[in-house]
Amino acid sequence: MIEYRNLRVALLGAGSVGAQVASLLLEHGDELANRAGAGLELVGVAVRDLDAPRTANIPRELLTTDAESLILGADIVIELMGGLEPARTYILQALTSGADVITGNKALLATHGPELFELAEQVGAQLYYEAAVAGAIPIIRPLRDSLAGDRIKRILGIVNGTTNFILDRMDTAGESLEVALATATELGYAEKSDPSADIEGFDAAQKTAILASLAFHTTVPLDAVYREGITAITIEQVDAARKAGYVIKLLAICERMTDADGVEGVSARVYPALVPRSHPLAAVHGAKNAVFIEAEAAGDLMFYGAGAGGIETASAVLGDLVSAARRHVIGGPGVAESTHANLPILPISRVITRYQITLSVVDQPGVLAAVATLFSEHGVSVETVTQSVQAGADPARPSATLVIGTHEASEADLAATVAALETSQVVRAVTSVLRVEGS
């Protein structure tokens, strides 16, 4: 048995992920010590309630409600409490005391990341956060290290398990959003305190801010991420998408792009979009996550796996723990986050993509031409038109459904086109507007 120097590890929070981290660390400690080249001694677990039930057994003598004393005596602090405060204060205290910090807290990183990374750099400590995006899937380290020599063009990610589960159930089982959300909550995918974090796209937006900052070496603040959730998606849209060869996915999109005025910048956005069934992301079912990266030299890469779950996410945390311990053994300063590129963040109105618009129109001669004119007047080029005629209740006022696919157009031009369609005499209703991504 090799004798290693012991590193003191403090764990803050013993919920779904924290309890599994404690249990795996206690069970596999010797194995991890051999990999890290240092002993990993769990010196304490800060909890709110010493007697609360947990998903894994943690020896009672390790539990404490005094997080601050625990932090002060640690070489490595693992924060798995979630929320902004006191997590932010505890991480600042840990870094100030010289400890490396590991966290899965995407809300905190997306909101206060620059402050935390700046302090880590000042004191020569390291902040690890593999669990914060796409749970168990290695994505932070590949972007930060493996792809550091490449240029990322675009990331399309399914980074929220709850919404992917819901959209998948709507598509494959015809369930309503409400029924599928209840199952996702029961299965423990949805955020316990507030499922709107999932279905309104807040969780995905936090992860998008983190991914875009890393991919484009630029600080992308959370409020610069455009966000739409899935609450307006109807079963009719899901069915129509299937018939047209698409599937609707809530996508996290990080893109380096040049807008119509030639301004080069970064777009970070979250919305439900039509993805062709032939795209690898269309095959991501249930609560699974996947991150599809288009890089200049490496080409297309896809990272797939469990984006949520206690033990799955604990795997990412323990990977960070081994990395942190190795750095303690080897020594040297922490690596700073690279934000040197300092690119402007483009607003949603500057984004250029493709769209599919569904209209209910009056079925009479000249309607198609009138609709096509509205598109061209606003600079949006039509690629495909599909028409179907409905019998309707009133034979004197027949209706038709037009599904119009566009070439690439800017959000601003598309919005102006939709506004014009909504007031047109020949259009009864604009029933669906969806972006098309991944083709």
Ligand X SMILES: NC(=O)C1=CN([C@@H]2O[C@H](COP(=O)(O)OP(=O)(O)OC[C@H]3O[C@@H](n4cnc5c(N)ncnc54)[C@H](O)[C@@H]3O)[C@@H](O)[C@H]2O)C=CC1
What's the rounded Cα separation, in Å, for the pair 155 and 411?
A: 19
Question: CA-to-CA distance for 158 and 203, rounded, in angstroms?
Answer: 11
46 contributes a contact to ligand X by CB under 6 A: yes
Active site residue 207: yes
Residue 288 found at the interface with ligand X (CB under 6 A): no
- For residue 17, say whether it is annotated as part of any ligand binding site: yes
Judged by CB under 6 A, does residue 160 bind ligand X? no
Residues 105-124, interacting with ligand X (CB under 6 A): 105-106
Of the candidates 139, 140, 186, the one whose C-alpha atom is nearest the C-alpha of residue 162 is: 186
Q: Which residue's structure tokens are 């209740």?
A: 393
Query: Rg of the chain's alpha carbons, rounded to an integer?
Result: 25
Q: From ligand LTNE7NMQ, Na ion, ligand X, none, which one binds at residue 309 (CB under 5 to 8 Å depending on kind)?
A: ligand X
Question: Which two tokens mark 211?
Answer: 């991914």
Residues 192, 207, 243, 288: which is the catalytic one?
A: 207
Of the residues 177, 308, 322, 412, which one makes contact with ligand X according to CB under 6 A: 308
DSSP assigned state of 145: I
Residues 83-122: x where in contact with ligand LTNE7NMQ by CB under 6 A, - otherwise, as a string:
----------------------------------------
Binding residue for ligand X, selected from 7, 9, 10, 17, defined by CB under 6 A? 17
Contacts of residue 242, Cβ cutoff 8 Å, sequence gap at least 6? 171
Smallest separation, CB 360 to ligand X (Å): 41
Q: Which is nearer to Na ion, 315 or 401 (CB)?
A: 315
Q: Contact between 44 and ligand X (CB under 6 A)?
A: no
Q: In this structure, which amino acid lies at residue 110?
A: A
* 438 among annotated binding-site residues: no
Distance of CA 60 to the CA centre of its chain: 36
Q: Which stretch binds ligand LTNE7NMQ (CB under 6 A): 22-30, 158-166, 349-357, 397-405?
A: 158-166
Residue 88 exposed, middle or buried by CB count within 10 Å (0-12, 13-18, 19+): middle
16 marked as binding residue: yes
Q: Which residues are bridge partners to 251 per DSSP?
A: 271
Q: Is 191 in the site for ligand LTNE7NMQ (CB under 6 A)?
A: yes
14 belongs to the binding site for ligand X (CB under 6 A)? yes
Least distance CB 24 / ligand X (angstroms): 14
Helix axes 367-377, 411-422, angle to 10 degrees: 140
189 is a contact residue toward ligand LTNE7NMQ (CB under 6 A): yes
Which stretches does DSSP call E strand in 76-120? 76-79, 100-103
Residue 182, CB half-sphere, CA atoms under 13 Å: how many?
4
Beta bridge partners of 73: none
Shortest Å, Cβ 15 to ligand LTNE7NMQ: 12
CA-based max dimension of the chain: 89
Kindly tell me which of 139 and 352 has the beta carbon lying closer to Na ion. Answer: 139
86 upstream amide cis, omega within 30 of 0: yes
Task: Return the one option of ligand LTNE7NMQ, ligand X, Na ion, none that residue 104 interacts with (CB less than 5 to 8 A, by type).
Answer: ligand X
Among positions 325-364, residues that touch ligand LTNE7NMQ (CB under 6 A) are none
Short-list 333, 409, 352, CA closest to 377: 409
CA 108 to chain centre: 14
Tell me 350's DSSP state: G
Q: Is the dihedral of CA 88, 90, 96, 101 positive or negative?
A: negative
Is 307 a binding residue for ligand LTNE7NMQ by CB under 6 A? The answer is yes
Contact 120, 95 (CB under 8 A): yes
To the question of whether residue 255 is assigned a binding role by annotation, the answer is no
Binding status of residue 246 toward ligand LTNE7NMQ by CB under 6 A: no
- Contacts of ligand LTNE7NMQ in 362-401 (CB under 6 A): none
Nearer to Na ion, 272 or 307 (CB): 307
**Least distance between ligand X and beta carbon 403 (Å):** 37
Letter for the amino acid at 387?
Answer: Q
Chain residues 198-237 in contact with ligand LTNE7NMQ, contact rule CB under 6 A: 198, 203
Give which of ligand LTNE7NMQ, Na ion, ligand X, none residue 157 binds (C-beta under 5 to 8 Å, depending on kind): none
Contact call for residue 135 and ligand LTNE7NMQ (CB under 6 A) = yes
In order, the DSSP letters of 235-253 are HHHHHHHHHTTEEEEEEEE
**Would you list which residues are annotated within the binding site for NADPH?**
106
**Interacting residues toward ligand X by CB under 6 A:** 13-18, 46-48, 67, 80-82, 86, 104-106, 131, 135, 192, 308-310, 313
**Would you list which residues are annotated within the binding site for NADP(+)?**
12-19
**Would you list which residues are annotated within the binding site?**
12-19, 106, 191
Active site (catalytic) residues? 207
